[in-house]
Amino acid sequence: MGRGFYDLYVSASCLSITTLAKLREEGFKGVGAVVSIDDISSAPDRCFATLDRAEEEGLSVGIDVVRRLAIDRQLRSSQVKKILRKWRRSFEVISVHALTRELTAFACRDGRVDVVTLIPGSRMLKGDLYYISEYSKAVELLLVFLQEGKPHNRANALSFYRRTLLTLERKRMLKHLVFSSGAYSPFNIRDPRSMASLLHMLGIPYEDALAALSVNPTSLIKKCRDKLSGRIPVRGVEIVDE
């Protein structure tokens, strides 16, 4: 049986039936339909309608669409807490972009955040890595920063990703790594094995690179869905069917 690849970060607005079919052909089993915090604050009904449509079309094509909220704006932790209180149960996966130290530290500490998305320039300290490991969160890297921008910026991004991967490997935290495309248009989507080859060339074993696109996101999604459905009522407790 083949691996089930997931691209956990694709903008929901670009998820048409052709994009979903393209994802299927590329070899993906599922996709994370991402809604940003600006969109959900300004037009929540439209966002949910887009997500519902994407889910239906994904079902027809054979792609598992995961609802995801990305907090990708620089906010104070009190504002993020308000957002999490309001929208936690409406989305399967919630992520926070590590834009500032305060936001990064809060995202690693708070149990309601599932993914911490690192952008070039983010700083993660020892305590952040401890919380990520403790709460079984995921650390996400996005391909889009390596595809776009001036060569100097792309080189900086490559260097940042290499350092991050070496840190995660040294701390034995590669099972928390997730690699996504970060696509906001169908032209940013690449096939999963090429993405894994890129991670491998940055210094981690190829098997771990493949796991960052398959096993790790799959287990994260399963855990998040179990939490929402009530199978995991509190951390460390799971209701097993008799």
Partner 1 sequence: MNSRGRFLAKDKCRVRGSAHVVHRYLILVTENPDRAFEKLKKAVLELWGINGLAITGLKQMSVYSEKNALIVRVEREGLHMLRAAIAASSEPIARVVKVTGSCRKAKRIAESLPSQRQDFKHVNPR
| 105 touches 80 (CB < 8 A) | no
Q: Is 238 in the site for partner 1 (CB under 8 A)?
A: no
Q: Is 210 in the site for partner 1 (CB under 8 A)?
A: no
Q: What residues contact residue 85 under an 8 Å CB cut-off, 6+ apart?
A: none
Q: Is 190 in the site for partner 1 (CB under 8 A)?
A: yes
Residue 35: Cβ within 10 Å count? 24
Nearest to partner 1 of 63, 189 (CB atom):
189
Q: What is the dihedral of CA 5, 113, 69, 85, to 10 degrees?
A: 150
Q: Is 207 in the site for partner 1 (CB under 8 A)?
A: no
| 114 touches 216 (CB < 8 A) | no
Nearest to partner 1 of 104, 164 (CB atom):
164
- Name which position in 105, 146, 165, 177 contacts partner 1 (CB under 8 A): 146
Site for partner 1 in 62-101 (CB under 8 A): none
Q: Is 162 in the site for partner 1 (CB under 8 A)?
A: no
Q: What is the dihedral of CA 178, 110, 31, 13, to 10 degrees?
A: -120
Q: Is 42 in the site for partner 1 (CB under 8 A)?
A: no
Min dist. Cβ of residue 12 to partner 1 (A):
17
Region from 1-9, 49-57, 181-189, 226-234 binding partner 1, contact rule CB under 8 A = 181-189
Q: Is 200 in the site for partner 1 (CB under 8 A)?
A: yes
| 216 touches 178 (CB < 8 A) | yes
